Amino acid sequence: MIIVRNCFVAKPGQASRLAAQIKEAAAASSMTSYRVLTDLTGEFNRVVLEYEVENLAGFEARMKEYMTNDVFREKMKGYTDLWQTGSREIMQVA
């Protein structure tokens, strides 16, 4: 099993809005096992979308879906205006 974390540092005052937008978009996709996390410690304004896939092929399929799912793309419209930086972590469950 693979855990994928898309990590964003939102612009000041935009973390709640970014988290809500990501949560709504994830619900509109075929993503079944996901959660949206916000910071309690560490970097301020951090928002994380965490989800599970069976393997790297599942991750690649999810990325292709993002590019072709019109509902998901509409829900994510403008999200890049809400964050300053981001990264992705892909971790294998041991």
To the nearest 10°, report the CA torsion of 25, 29, 34, 38. Answer: -10
Say how far apart CA 18 and CA 16 lie, in whole Å. 5
Residue 60 structure tokens: 């690649």
Q: Domain for residue 19, yes or no?
A: yes
Q: Is 45 exposed, middle or buried (0-12, 13-18, 19+ CB in 10 A)?
A: buried
Q: Domain for residue 43, yes or no?
A: yes
Q: Domain for residue 92, yes or no?
A: no
Say how far apart CA 4 and CA 89 lie, in whole Å. 6
Q: Domain for residue 24, yes or no?
A: yes
Identify the domain containing residue 13 by its residue range: 2-87
Q: What is the number of domains present in the chain?
A: 1
Which pTM does this prediction carry? Answer: 0.89
Provide the CATH number for the domain around residue 56. 3.30.70.100
List the pLDDT tens digit at each of the 94 positions of the chain: 999 999 999 999 999 999 999 999 999 887 878 999 999 988 899 999 999 999 999 999 989 988 888 998 899 999 999 999 999 999 999 9
Other residues' Cβ atoms within 10 Å of the Cβ of residue 66: 14
